[in-house]
Structure 1
Amino acid sequence: MGTFKIEGGHQLKGSIQPQGAKNEALQILCAVLLTPEVVTINNIPDIVDVNKLIKLLGNLGVKIKNIGKGSYTFQADDVNLEYLESDAFKVDGRGLRGSIMIVGPLLARFGKGYIPKPGGDKIGRRRLDTHFEGLINLGAKFRYSKEEQFYGVEAERLKGTYMLLEEASVTGTANIVMAAVLAEGQTTIYNAACEPYLQQLCKMLNRMGAKISGVGSNMLIIDGVESLGGTDHTMLPDMIEIGSWIGLAAMTKSELTIKNVSWNDLGIIPSVFRKLGITVEKQGDDIHIPAHIDGYEIQSFIDGSILTISDAPWPGFTPDLLSIVLVVATQARGSVLIHQKMFESRLFFVDKLIDMGAKIILCDPHRATVIGHDFKSTLKAMTMTSPDIRAGVSLLIAALSAKGTSTIQNIEQIDRGYENIDERLRAIGAKIERVE
């Protein structure tokens, strides 16, 4: 098990390039199963979760070639459907949450899709009902083995229909869209997720020959086609990593430039950090964060009440950045209420920040009040364990701002979502060492 040793209290300086978007990659890679033709994908992040999915596709018989850093070709012209019912698949499929999105493409193209209960972060209940209810609406027959925790859907030919999703699930919408593009007739998905990564998937499918309208809205209309062809696709920069670097710059009082961020796809992320008092400057397609030598002050609402930052489906604030916002608030001037609505276990890492000296009141599993130190009292170094990807990076940011040497264990969680994070941080002056 790997460990990071971090000597905190140092200012960083320079520029950093965000990796390709993890959450987009998991959708886009599954979409290669929809065609027997070659699909070229660029800006794929070299991270554990994505590499696991690429390996799973290879085990399914997809021909995969690495043609450069972050660039691969995929050709699913000889898919091994027997692998889906093997013991090996039951192990491989449980290894990551994103494996659920192979079900829609397999069902649409081959008439059946199976998946074991997928793994991923332990951040609370993440039900799969939206995925399977959508596929059932398209005409699939559903089965589930409680003993093996194994799901299956089968259909000779899917048929388009109207459906209203109970929740605007990103992965659920992606799965249903990938099934509907090859269904007979027209499908309407209302209350669809409309995150930039879902928009990217729809644009890619349209280039492959799909007919999807309403992209970017919460109502998608899909006219089914007989087959899809190949295409080239380049993934967006990872907005969660961009938000992480904004928070890192503020907490370490560092001047940083985040390169090529695709501003138009960041939504309200810059404005949320500005509400914390952080200066976020737009320079072309880059973000520049000046050194906050005098700290940063949290705004209040217009009526003077305490600022509340909460997560919501796009275009609301992404839940993946609430952990970052929380840790950044520990050194702000003022107070803020963090309301994590979607997952009931995601705030439990705050006990580690409290042990470091942060002033945080965990009101309940969904809400935490943070009273900022205004850098008058620094966080203290300590040994801690990363519980999930985003909490792990939040603890890493806390450690880089703390005086002394901290140790973070279980860094495999961080590696699941951040590419070569220690090397990239050392390049801008961080004192971080990976110990195997």
Structure 2
Amino acid sequence: MSSAFEVRGGNRLKGDIVPQGAKNEALQIISAVLLTPEKVTISNIPDILDVNLLIELLADIGVAVNRVSRDTCEFTAANIDMAYLQSAEFKKKSGRLRGSVMIAGPLLARYGKAYIPKPGGDKIGRRRLDTHIIGFEKLGVQFVYDTDDNFFRLEAADGLKGTYMLLDEPSVTGTANIVMAAVMAKGTTTIYNAACEPYIQQLCKMLNSMGANISGVGSNLITIEGVTSLKGCSHAMLPDMIEIGSFIGLAAMTQSEITIRNAGVEHLGIIPEKFRQLGIHLELRGNDIYVPAQDSYEIQTFLDGSILTMYDHPWPGFTPDLLSIVLVVATQAKGSVMIHQKMFESRLFFVDKLIDMGAQIVLCDPHRAVVIGLGREHALRGITMSSPDIRAGVALLIAALSAEGKSTIQNIEQIDRGYQYIDERLRRLGADIKRV
């Protein structure tokens, strides 16, 4: 039987919390160790399921892994067992993990071949691999899809060659995979409409420290001059901005005074501003974020008085991963907001649980929901619910912590995939939460 969280809401929380390393950065950075036979040391690794599975997978294919501590790891990819990548065991293991697609770029760069499972992971709508595969093809990779095995076999018989490409969408993982493949391709690769999230900036920074030649980092036009080999390096990961946003929302909803320490403030982009639009006070103090206890918060309108719309957009726009959090936080604000989830078509389906808890939400269609904030006139009621994906899971957890009575959240493996020891860390702030 899978475990659940039992939450008794209504406690005001207080104290400091330190965000974990960024999950979305980890999957790319850890895959990049395959690009060199030399030692790579990575610190601030989040101790979460998806990341630990990827580290295990690398060990299986021959990477020497030395876990110095729970958040620091040394990787040496001197002896890779390419035959293992065709085994049934690899297919089964890699099929469970979304991030396993990220090892394709580095393997193509170094060995000229790779294998990718059909993707698993969150049930938040279609997540295509087209951007990855088409980008690889432009670099000279041929691919065969094996329908019996649900597997892509990729091979660059004549080696990878640099080229110009315009991506059909600024996919973060797609951009990362293509960049990793291109660093050792012959000649110049230019990627236009590239994702420019901090995760990609961090990956490029790491690759450049290994001897790659990447320019345009932080823009949507990345240029890569191919080099013949890469060396080892040390890299520290950024704090997880999704966790940081989750904690800001949690503080507001539970009327708590919380300081988020070491928040990587300069890398948060528009996130603090979006929470301020919901009426949440927050102070940036050096590299910390201080959220004071607030009895109420009022959603701003646009300057002409019309209702605020919040939508996701590729960086430097607002990340889709925080829209679930914003939606929950808005239920207890004063005022109304339209949440428009453009990128994924089934990320809003968790609102039925919030409606059961007493929130006033109109789900317009799979992409849009209007939240009518009750200004705390009625507290949410605790209920039993299940977590459909990582981000909705934490949004529901925040709702439960602010609700009256007991809530039970099932399927919390989804939460554990993205948030390390979340129950222990919230208990330290005074939350009544236990794993059952």
Question: Do both proteins adopt the same fold according to a TM-score greater than 0.5, normalized to the shorter chain?
Answer: yes
Give me the whole-angstrom Cα distance separating, in 2, the residues matched to 1:90 and 1:261: 37
Give me the whole-angstrom Cα distance separating, in 2, the residues matched to 1:357 and 1:37: 56
Residue 55 of structure 1 aligns to a residue whose secondary structure is: helix
Give me the whole-angstrom Cα distance separating, in 2, the residues matched to 1:94 and 1:246: 34
* Equivalent residue runs for 1:10-409 within 5 Å: 10-156=11-157, 157-293=159-295, 295-409=296-410
Residue 374 of structure 2 aligns to a residue whose secondary structure is: coil
Equivalent pairs counted in the alignment come to 434
Give me the whole-angstrom Cα distance separating, in 2, the residues matched to 1:339 and 1:83: 44
Letter in 1 for 2:135: G
Residue 152 of structure 2 aligns to a residue whose secondary structure is: strand
Letter in 2 for 1:210: A
Residue 334 of structure 1 aligns to a residue whose secondary structure is: strand
Distance apart, 1:89 and its partner CA = 0.8
Letter in 2 for 1:265: H
Distance apart, 1:174 and its partner CA = 0.2
Q: Tell me the TM-score normalised to structure 2 length.
A: 0.99
* Alpha-carbon contact 1:84-1:115 (below 8 Å) kept: no
Letter in 1 for 2:380: L
Give me the whole-angstrom Cα distance separating, in 2, the residues matched to 1:216 and 1:278: 29
Cα root mean square deviation, aligned: 0.6
Q: Tell me the TM-score normalised to structure 1 length.
A: 0.99
Give me the whole-angstrom Cα distance separating, in 2, the residues matched to 1:218 and 1:40: 28
In structure 1, the gaps of 5 or more residues are: none
Give me the whole-angstrom Cα distance separating, in 2, the residues matched to 1:2 and 1:77: 39
Distance apart, 1:147 and its partner CA = 3.0
Distance apart, 1:68 and its partner CA = 2.0
Residue 241 of structure 1 aligns to a residue whose secondary structure is: helix
Give me the whole-angstrom Cα distance separating, in 1, the residues matched to 2:69 and 2:58: 19
In structure 2, the gaps of 5 or more residues are: none
Distance apart, 1:191 and its partner CA = 0.4
Distance apart, 1:142 and its partner CA = 1.1
Letter in 1 for 2:175: T
Letter in 2 for 1:308: T
Give me the whole-angstrom Cα distance separating, in 2, the residues matched to 1:205 and 1:108: 13
Letter in 1 for 2:352: D
Residue 345 of structure 1 aligns to a residue whose secondary structure is: coil
Residue 153 of structure 2 aligns to a residue whose secondary structure is: strand
Give me the whole-angstrom Cα distance separating, in 2, the residues matched to 1:298 and 1:96: 38
Offset from partner CA, 1:369-400 (integer Å, 9 cap, x none): 00011011000000000111000000000000
Letter in 2 for 1:190: Y
Give me the whole-angstrom Cα distance separating, in 1, the residues matched to 2:121 and 2:237: 22
Give me the whole-angstrom Cα distance separating, in 2, the residues matched to 1:148 and 1:346: 29
Give me the whole-angstrom Cα distance separating, in 2, the residues matched to 1:146 and 1:306: 49
Give me the whole-angstrom Cα distance separating, in 2, the residues matched to 1:169 and 1:247: 26
Residue 167 of structure 1 aligns to a residue whose secondary structure is: coil
Deviates more, 1:147-156 or 1:389-398: 147-156
Residue 334 of structure 2 aligns to a residue whose secondary structure is: coil
Offset from partner CA, 1:69-123 (integer Å, 9 cap, x none): 3000000000011111000111111112111110010011011010111211000
Offset from partner CA, 1:15-39 (integer Å, 9 cap, x none): 0000000000000000000000000
Letter in 1 for 2:30: L
Identity of aligned pairs, percent?
Answer: 69
Give me the whole-angstrom Cα distance separating, in 2, the residues matched to 1:68 and 1:52: 16
Give me the whole-angstrom Cα distance separating, in 2, the residues matched to 1:154 and 1:127: 20
Residue 104 of structure 1 aligns to a residue whose secondary structure is: helix
* Alpha-carbon contact 1:211-1:222 (below 8 Å) kept: yes
Residue 139 of structure 1 aligns to a residue whose secondary structure is: coil
1:432 aligns with 2:433: yes
